Structure 1
Amino acid sequence: MKSNTKKRLIAFMLCMVLVLSSATSAFADEPQNTDSQSQTEAVAEPAADEATGDEAAVNSSEQQQQEEQQPEQQQQEEQQPEQQQPETEAPTVEAPAEQPAAEEAQPIQQLTYEDDNVKITVDAVESGNIPEGATLSVTPVIKQEITDSMSDEEKAKAEELNDQYDHTEKKLNEKAENETYDIAGFLAYDITFVDADGNKMEPNGNVKISMDYKKTEIPEEAKKALEEKNDEQNLDVTVMHLEEDEQGEVKEVVDMVADETKEATVETTETKEVEKAAFVTNSFSTFTITWKKDSATYFKLTLHHVDEKGNELPTTLSSDATLNYNSDISFSDYVEIIDNYDYKYAKVDKISGKTVTSAVTNGSSGKRAKLTLYNGKDNKIETLSYSTTTKNIYLVYTAKSTGSTGSGTIEDTAPQLSHQKYIKKKDGNNYDLTLNVSSKKGTTSSKKKFDIVLIMDTSTSMSNNNKWRNSKTAVNKLIDTLSSQTTVDVNYRLVTFGTTAQIQTNWTTGETVKSTLSNYSIKEDQGTNYEDGLVKTKEALSSGTRADAEKIIVFLTDGQPTFYKSGTSYAGPGSSTSYRVYQHALDAAAKLKCDRIIPVGIGLKSVEKYSYDSYSDQQKVPDSATVLLQNVANKVNATTKDTVFNSDSSGSNLSTKFSEIAADIQKFPCKNVTIKDTLSEYVETTANTKLQLRMVKKTTANDHDTYENQGKQEIPLTDEDLISTNGKAVSINEKNLGTVKYDSAKKQVTWSLGENYELKDDIYYYITITDVKPTTSAEEKYKTDKAYTNTGDSNTDASADGNYGTMGNANDSSSGKKRFPFQ
C-alpha cells in the first residue's frame, strides 16, 4: 500500500513538472526609435494561451501519457486487497510550494509604444482585430522650431509636423465653436498600424488604447488657464478623436469621454495633470488628450462721450462697461458732467444709430449667453450672442451756452488749457465749488512738430474678430484728431510686420497713410516678427525726419513674437516664442532711438513658449504677452516709455485709446498761468467758507484713470493776507506756487502760479471754495418766477431730468421745484 501510494505521488509530481516546463508566453518586442519624431513600431505576436505547433505537440503527448497511466493505476488500486492500517504514523510527504492565485487573463493580442513621457498599449478586444503582421506606429504631434542648421529633409519633416499640429488645433477649436467650452490646450498623438512596406492599416475591429504617463503632464496653455480661471470657469480633461474619411480628411471630431460607446476614461491629479487615459476605437488617426475650459462670456460695451458731430469730449470715467451673466446697466448711469454740455441720448454703433437706454444679459453663461439692448422697458433694439461680444455705444451731448452766473476763467496768452468746474453738495444747503485746470502742448503761432512712425502688426491673426478693421479705424482717429488741431504739425511713416516687415510709405501726410491702410489686406500664413518690424522702424527714422520734431513710435500688435531675422530670411517656431526669438526682439529694440515709444496690444494674453527650449531658456521668456511687449518697449532708447495699453480681444476700444494718445502728445508745459473763479450774485459764503488749493496727479493704467493727491493748502476766507492787495503765498508739497487772493467785493478768487512756474504734465490744479450756499434773493426769484431762466455751468450736481443746481430751503414753497443753478 505504501509502495503504491509513493508511486502515485511520484507520478503526480512528474506530471506537474512536465506541465510547468511546457508553459509558454509571448510578449511584444522592445520598442525601437526609428526616426527623430520618436515614431515607434512593435510587431504583433501570439498571446500566451495560443500555443505554437511544437508546444501543441508536447502538450498533446503529455496529455495522452497521463490518460494511459490513469486506467492502469486505477486497475492496480482496485486489485489491491483491503488491509488494516497499522497504528504506526504514516509517512509524510512535503506539500509543494504554495502556488499563486489564478493568473490574470492574458491579452489576446497586444502592441506597445514607449517614449520618455508615455507608454501606449494597444490591445485587441477580440482575436484577429490586430491585423496579422501589423506593427504599431505612434507619432507625438508637437511643434518644432525650424532652424538654419537643419537639413532640407529635416525641415520638410518639421514643417509637415507643424502643419499637422496647426490642423489639429484648428479642428479642435472648430468643434468648440458649437459647444459651451473653449480649448485650453492639448497633447496630440498620430496612432496607426503599418504593414511591412510602411502602408497604414486600420484595425479589423475594436481595440483598446491605454496611455500611462511616466510623469503627470499638462500643456502650458492649460496650466495658465487653470491659474487664471475665475469662479465661473472650470477646467475639464477629455479624449478627442479626429475621425477621418477614406480620403484622409477629418469628417468629425468626437469627444470620446462624452460618447459612452468609446469606454473612454481620463485620470488626472487635482491640478488637472493627466496620469492615465484609456479608450476603445475601431479606426486610427489623430487622438488628443484635450483640456477644456468653460467659455464664460463677458460682453464689453465701449462708451464714447461725443458731441452731436461725433467729436470726442473730455471725460474722467472708464470708457468701458463690462457685463457677464445676470447683469444690467442703464446708460444714464455712465453720463458725465462735462463743462458746457448737456447729455442728450445714447446711440448704438454710431451717433446716427438707434437710440438705446439700457443693456441686459440673460441668465446663461458661456456660449449661450446673450445681451439685449433696449430703448425703454420693452423695446428690444439688438441682441448680442457669443460670437459678437462687443459694441460701441455713443453717449451724445449737446452744447449749451452759459448764463449770467459766475464762472471760473483761465488767463494765458498762447496755449489753450483744459479746465473743468463742478459742485459737490454737503450737509444741509451747503456746497463746495471746484475749478481745475491742466495743460496742453502747442500754440497757433508756434506749432509743435511730430514725426510719428506707425508700426502695425499684419500677421494673419489680425484678420480675426475685426482686429484689423478696428486698428485702421483707430489710426484714422489719431490722424483726424491731430489734423483738426491748429497747434501741431505732424508727419507720418507706416511700417507693417508679419513674418517679415516692410516700410509702406515715405514721410507723408495722414491722409496718405489712411489711403494706404484702406487698400491693405491681411495675407494668409503670416507670423509675427517683432525684430524685423523694429529694424525697419529704425530704418524709417534714419532719414527724412525733421530736426525740431518730436519722434514718436506707436507699436501695435495682437500677439507674441514667433519669428526673428535670419540673414536676409527669417526663422522661428511660427506659433510660439523661443528664447532666441525674444532676445532678437530685445536686441532690435535696444538699437532704436526716439522721444517716445507707445506700445499698444490687442487682446494680449499668456505667452505660448517654445516647448523645445531648455527649462532655463523658457524661464527667461515672460509668461505674459503684455509683460513681453513692455520689456521690448523698455529697451528702446526713448525719453518717455509708455505703459502697454492692452485693448479687448477685438480692439473695439482702440479708437478711444488713439484719441487719448492724440490728446496726450499735445500736452504743453505752460508758464505764467492765472486761474480766476468768480461767484455769482446768487451765491454767498458762510462763516465756515475756506479756500482750498490742491495738486492732483493723474495716472492711466490698464485703461483706467487714477488720481493721487500731491498736497493741498487750506486758507480761511478771513485770512488777512488772502484779502490783501498782494495776496497770500501758496506752498503745496514744499513747492512755491505763486500767490492767491480773494476780493470779497467781486466775490472773486485769483491764483497766480508765477512767471517761472511751468504746469506739469498729468498734474491738475484745483481751487475749491468750501461751504457756500444760495442767497435769499435766489430763492425769492425762483419762487416769484416759478422758474430760473439763467443756466449755470454743466459741471454741477444734476437731477435725473438734466436740471442743474440746488433745491430751495426745506420749508420754502420753492423746495418742491426742480433744481436751479447758482454758482
Structure 2
Amino acid sequence: MATPSNAEFSDIVISPDVATDSNAKRYEVNLDGISVIVSAPADAFDREVTLKARRLSKDEIDNNINPEDGDDYIGNTASSNMIETVAAFDESIEETKEVIEEIGESVADSEQISENINYLDDAVIGNDESESETYPEDSISLDIHFEDENQLEIEPLTTVYVNIKIDNDMLPPGAKPEDTEVYHIKDDNSVTKIEDIALTEDKEDNSITTNFSTDGFSTFTLIWGGKFKVNIKYVDTNGNEIASDLNQLSIYRDHNGYFNNSNDKITPKQLDTGIPGMKYKYARVRMSNGTVVDNVIQIERETSLIKGMRYTVDGTNWVVFGPNEMQFLELVYEPENATNTRRGKVRISKSKTVEDPDKDGIYDLTLEINNLTGSTTDKANLDVLFLVDTSSSMNRRIRVGDDPKMNVVHNSLRRFLNQNYLDSNMYNVNYALVGIDADPTVYQNWTANKSSIISNYPWAASGQSRINYEKGFVKANELFRNGRSDALKMLIFLTDGDPTYYTNHNTGHNEGFLIDRYSPMAMLHGQFALYAIDLDYFFSIGLGDTNDYKHLKALTNSNDNDSPIKGYRGITLPANGVEVGSSPYSADSLENLMDQYRYIISVMNSITVSNVSIEDKLSQYAMIAKNSSGQLYPLEIEVIGGTGLVTGQHISSNTYRLISTLKNPQSDLVANYNDATKTISLRFPPNYVLEKGYKYRIKAKIKTTPLAEATYASTGQFQKHSNGSNVVGDSGTGSKSSNQKGFYSNDTAKVSYSYKGNDVIDYFKKPVIQPYIKPVPTGVAFDISYALIFIIMSILSIGIFGFNRRKRC
C-alpha cells in the first residue's frame, strides 16, 4: 500500500506513483479528539465533493436510533478552507447494528431514508457531540462518506487513502495502539476487516494514526483487541467452586484469559479438563447485572467488535455484551454417577435392578444393555417428524413428464406409512408433519394415527418462493421437546432447494438477498438450528435437479469446504451420536424416493456399537453373597435374542459362548469379579457388534456387609448423605430399591463402548439394599399364648382342689 504524504503536513505522505502535491487533493474533518483525513488522486472524483464524518453514539449502535434533524455531520471540501456543519443525515443508519451483528451478505427488509441537507453558512467548528450522547468505551465507529453539491453521496472512482488520527486518551483503558483493528461496514451489508493498515504513534501530541486505502465509504469501526477477557470458573450444580488448574487452558496459559484475535472463540465443552469423580454437564454465563444464562454453547468476539463479545445457547440467537458485562463463564459439573443427557450416548439402553425374590436378604443384581433398536419383546419408542419443503418450487414436476414434487412426497408418505416401513413389531411410533417455506406450518402434531399424516398433508405448495431452513428446524426442535422424553428421535427433511432466508433475531423478520438465491448466512443459521436439536437420526433428501440443492450436504458434513459453520470449534454436523447415513439422499421419481426410504431403514438396522464392557464397583455396604457351602455365588451371563431365541450357552462358570450371526462370528463373553477392587465386569470381544434387539445381562447375588448391618443395628437408620438426608434408590432400580431408603449397592457402575469412532462412557442408576432382619417365627407367639392358658388353668385347678378339700373336712 502506498503511504499518503504532503509536504505541508508531516503526518501525511503521498508516494509519487499515486499522487503528487500538484495532482492530489486533501480532505479533512476534525471531530472531538478524532481527525479524519482523506488524500485522493485528482481523478478520484469527477465533481466537487465534500467529506462528511460523524461518530456513531452508543444509542445509535445499540438501539438502531435514527438521527433526528439537528444531528450534525462535520464536512470539508477540497476547494475551500471553510468548514461547514451539516444539519442532518443523508442516509439512515437504521441497519448499522444488524449489519454489525450478522456479518452476512444480506439485504435488509427496511427501506433507506433520504433527507434534505441544509448548510449553515460560516459555521465554526465546535463540539458536534451532544452532551447527552454517550459512545462505546471499547470502540470508535465513524460514518464517513463524500457528498456532491446536491447532497448526493458520491463514491471515489479510484482508490483513496485514509488517515484516522485519534487522541490516546480516547483509547479504552489498557488498550495498546498496536492492537488497533479496523473494520469496514459496507452498504451491501458486508463487513470486511482491513488487513493492510499502517499504525503510527506520536508521543509529542499523544495520538495514534491509522493509515489505509479504500475504494468505498460508509462506516468504519476501530477496536482494540487486548481488552476482552473471559473469567472462567469450575463449579458444581449448586454453584460451589471446584478447584482447578486454569493453566491447562490455552487461553489462560498463553493469553491470561484474553481474546486477542477477531476470530477467537470459546466452545465451553472443550474446556473440560477432567475433574476426578465429576463430569462436565453444561456451561452458563453469570452477568454483572445478576442475570444467569444456562446451556451456553459458544462465546466469541462479536463479529463487528462494536461491543466486543457475544454468546449463544442455540447457535442462532446471539446476545452481545461488553467486556465488563460478563462476570464469569461457569463450567458446571456433576458427580460421575449422575444420569447423563442423551446427546452422544444414545446407542445403548441400560438398566440396573436389585430384587430379593426369596426375601432372605440375598439380592439378585442385574445389569442389562441393548443397542436401542427395539425388539419384538421390548418395543422402542420412536418419534418421527417429516419436515417438508412447501415453497412454490415444490409445485413443479420432479422431472419432465412426472408428477409435481408435492404430489410425489404425498404418495411416498402414503406408501411409507401403510407398508409399515418402520416395523410396528419393533417400534411404538409417533409421527408429526411440518411444512416449511418462509415460515413453518404444523400440519399434524404427534400422533400414532398414520392416516392423520396423510389426510392433513397439504395438497399444494404455498405461493412463497423462499425457504428458511432455520425456522423449520426451530419448529421441529419445539415439537421434539414436547414429544416423548424416552423416545428415539428421527427427523426426515425433504426439500428441492438450498436455503434463501434466515431469521434476523433482532426483528424476527426474514432476511436474504433481493433475488431468490442461495444465502450462506441462511445455511449458517440453519446449521446452528439443526445442531441444537437432540436427535438420534437425521436424514435429508433432495428432490428433483441436484443443482438446485447442491449445498444441502452442509447439513450433514460441517467440514465440507463449502460449509459456513466450518471453523466453529466444537460444533460439528452431524452432532455427536446423530446417525445420518449417506445424507443427503437424492430422488427424481416416486420409486427413487421409496428406495431412499429403504436405505434409511437399513441404516437404522445396522447401528455398530462395539468395544463394549460393563463394570460395577460395589460399595463398602455391599458384597457378593455366599451359598450354603460358604462359596461365593458365581456370576451369571444371560443373552436374549430379539425374538427370545437361544443365543448360546455357558462353557464355564464365567464364560458364555454366543453362536455366530451375520454380524459376528462365534464369540465369548467373559464375566469376572475382582475381590481386591470389589468390581464386577462383563467383557465383550473388541470387534463384537451389539446385535439388533438383543438384551445382554450380567447377574450377581449380593447382600449387605457387616458394616451396613452394624450401622443399622446400632442406629436403626440407613445410609445418610453428607448433608444428613437419607440415601434413597434411584427410580426404576427395583421394587425394594426405587425411591426406598437403604445403603447404596455400588460406588459407580458404567458401560463403555465405541460408536462412530467415539469412545463413550455412560453410567447406570444407583440402587439401594437393606440388611436382612430375621423375622420372629409366628409359632412363638402361638406357643406363649398356650403356655399362659396352661398356667392360668393350673392355678384355677389348684384353687378348686383346695376348696373342695376344705369342704370335705
Fold shared per TM-score above 0.5: no
> Normalized against structure 2, the TM-score is what?
0.28
Which protein is richer in helix relative to its size? 1
